[in-house]
Structure 1
Amino acid sequence: MEKLCLVTGACGFCGSYMVNLLLERGYKVRATDLEKSERGIHTDIVKKEGVEFIPSDLTKKETLKEVVKDVAYVFHPAAIFSYHQEWEPLYKVNVEGTRNLCEVLVEEGRVEKFINWSTVGVYGLPKPEYLPIREGYTPEPSNIYEKTKYEQEKVVLEFCKKDKLPVIIIRPSPIYGPGNIYGVAQMWLNFAKIPFFIMPKNLPYNMPFVHVKDVCNAALFLAENERRLGQVYNIVDDSNISTYGFFKLFSEVSGKKFITAPDVKNLKVMLAIVKAIVKASVFFLRILTKVIPIPIIIYFRETALYVTAIYGFSNEKLKSLGYKFLYPTVKDGIKETLSWYREKGMMK
């Protein structure tokens, strides 16, 4: 008998890919999202043949009881992903909404696997001496979105320990791929507006990525293969590309000019200056956004932190189970992604 899978946030970026993957693999699929959610480019999910769509609201527990009936696997990417939302709505959906879902799943008592979407953002800005970050590293989230995702992890692990809810947590790095219109997409689309790039080669910064298909494939792989409860997995590709390497790659794929600047001779001094400027800018922008909560200001604040940090996340735990990446590096997926943006008129 085919297993029935539930996908929350099914009309979103990861949710829609998850639905399609499950259909391809022959699973029965039940999709859920807000009844009046913004369908955007994923509107076909609710009408797709083989998909049972039941609207629900994570913040209203009574709407979830029908949704979880008879499900074997639950894939839970539904969340508010935003760096400019206030704490209350983020917490209400990401934390309390997940608690509601866990409660009805325990009451139903049939679920075999519960895959919870988190983020490598829960690690915060890790110290270089601890790189690459493995799943046992103590999280230190640095913004309110990341804090709610860490609180969400605590909730599902609480149910795992107390009620034996078969939880697996995945922590994807920044996700890219055709269909993405926020997060990495906003950053790349803004990069596309820059006429040319100039950068020295010896900057130590780097940028982690993972393709959306690998996030969803890894989620299903873990549902099918991981037997231990309460496990956490980083979902990040092998590239760990330098900031210099990424902008050079982006320039080649987008047809922009890239100039390699001379190496910075006194790198330590330059890095200290950059760090001080970014720190001061972020401090100023945090104050400004409390007075004028404009999303674009908050976006630039988070981008400044992202492109001037040294990251490194281990995916060895996932690969040790036998998972093989469909897109091992960002080089393997950036071309199709930028082509999609061009097709949709989002970039030239």
Structure 2
Amino acid sequence: MSHKVFLTGASGFVGSAILRRLVADGTPVIAAVRQGSAAPSALVRSVMFQSFEQDNDWGGALAECDVVVHSAARVHVMNDTETDPLAAFRRVNVEGTLALARQAIAAGVKRFVFISSIKVNGEGTQPGRPYSASDTPRPQDPYGVSKLEAETALQALARESGLEVVIVRPVLVYGPGVKANFLNMMRWLDRGIPLPFGAINNRRSLVALENLVDLVVTCIGHAAAANQVFLVSDGEDLSTTELLRRMGKALGKPARLLPVPEGLLSAGAKALGKGSLSQRLCGSLQVDIKKTRDLLGWCPPVKVDAALRAAARHYQEYDRK
């Protein structure tokens, strides 16, 4: 069965990759794009919006579609300057999401695929004890709280209306065009900067952009996806040390890693007020994707090293400074 998709966040890192895949697959799509952003493709009809904090009338576009893929969000912000970060996240991630979902129901949309976050589960795991989709959520920051509230409200709407809600919780997403800490890591490696991360024995799940997109596309039409929560990763967990080594290899710049003990790194980071950074570098965060594999018959199509090479090529061509 063919579907017509209404896609939000179509100019973002994840949303633009979903859009490219849908177009490549020949799936009809209407893209919702923030006003001021370039139209994502001459091949795709776009509708412009100012902000998900505003009242938006999506009705005309939604009436032409049977599936919504909602990737637009106020994303996790380092050093947030909002006086009330939770309220800012709620306006976009909860209220904006629910307004869209209610209009989708009114327009007769059958399925709503919501890109959530592993932060709904929490901030870290003990090695060998990964999160699963059935775990009790324990978000620890305003972003994670807002995503959980949106999930809960969408599930309530599904029970009331018959709308099929599919929730996808990605771990850290990397790939061509990645920004923030992952981009910084590539820059450090590219410049040959010695890094004190040669003795970190954590385990972290990551997901390549192409793997996340493949799962989202699977969730658009798979009957078994209805009203389910899925965790997604590459299926191979890495230590920070191993990730840096393999990213260096992808860049053609062997990583210069110094074997500084984890305890010393953590203590130094906390003394500098960078405890959360220490958790991301030294702590573990693993996810179990057995349910995703078994229920959907899905497996990550792209291996880690191939995905790292794709990220490295894009960095070398477009992001190197």
Q: TM-score normalised to the size of structure 1?
A: 0.81
Indicate the residue corresponding to 2:45 in structure 1.
Answer: 52
Which residue of 218, 221, 226 corresponds with 1:224?
221
Using the TM superposition, give the Cα deviation of residue 333 of structure 1 relative to its aligned residue in structure 2, in angstroms. Answer: 0.9
Residue deviations 1:236-287 (CA, integer Å, cap 9, x gap): 112211112112112223343445666x8xxxxx555554544454xx45xx
State the SS of the aligned residue for 1:333: helix
1:66 aligns with 2:54: no
Indicate the residue corresponding to 2:98 in structure 1.
Answer: 99
1:325 aligns with 2:300: yes
Segments of 5+ residues of structure 2 without an aligned counterpart are: none
Indicate the residue corresponding to 1:22 in structure 2.
Answer: 22
Indicate the residue corresponding to 1:118 in structure 2.
Answer: 116
User: Contact conserved, 2:189 with 2:255, CA < 8 A, in 1?
Assistant: no
CA separation of 1:177 and 1:257: change in aligned 2, threshold 3 A:
closer
CA separation of 1:44 and 1:339: change in aligned 2, threshold 3 A:
farther
CA separation of 1:143 and 1:279: change in aligned 2, threshold 3 A:
farther
User: Contact conserved, 1:197 with 1:251, CA < 8 A, in 2?
Assistant: no
Using the TM superposition, give the Cα deviation of residue 199 of structure 1 relative to its aligned residue in structure 2, in angstroms. Answer: 4.4
Indicate the residue corresponding to 1:214 in structure 2.
Answer: 211
Indicate the residue corresponding to 2:289 in structure 1.
Answer: 315
State the SS of the aligned residue for 1:33: strand
State the SS of the aligned residue for 2:64: coil
Indicate the residue corresponding to 1:347 in structure 2.
Answer: 320
State the SS of the aligned residue for 2:97: helix
User: Contact conserved, 1:198 with 1:258, CA < 8 A, in 2?
Assistant: no
Q: TM-score normalised to the size of structure 2?
A: 0.87
Indicate the residue corresponding to 2:242 in structure 1.
Answer: 245
Once the two structures are aligned, what percentage of the paired residues are identical? 21
Using the TM superposition, give the Cα deviation of residue 145 of structure 1 relative to its aligned residue in structure 2, in angstroms. Answer: 1.8
The one-letter code sitting in structure 1 at the alignment partner of 2:175 is G
User: Contact conserved, 1:32 with 1:54, CA < 8 A, in 2?
Assistant: yes
CA separation of 1:162 and 1:273: change in aligned 2, threshold 3 A:
farther
Segments of 5+ residues of structure 1 without an aligned counterpart are: 265-269, 286-300
1:136 aligns with 2:129: no
- The 2-side partners of 1:120 and 1:228 are apart by 18
- The 2-side partners of 1:31 and 1:177 are apart by 21
- The 2-side partners of 1:184 and 1:5 are apart by 30
After the TM superposition, which residues 288-307 of structure 1 pair with which residues of structure 2 at under 5 Å, given as runs? Answer: 302-307=276-281
Q: Report the count of equivalent residues.
A: 314
Indicate the residue corresponding to 1:298 in structure 2.
Answer: none
User: Contact conserved, 2:194 with 2:257, CA < 8 A, in 1?
Assistant: no
CA separation of 1:274 and 1:190: change in aligned 2, threshold 3 A:
closer
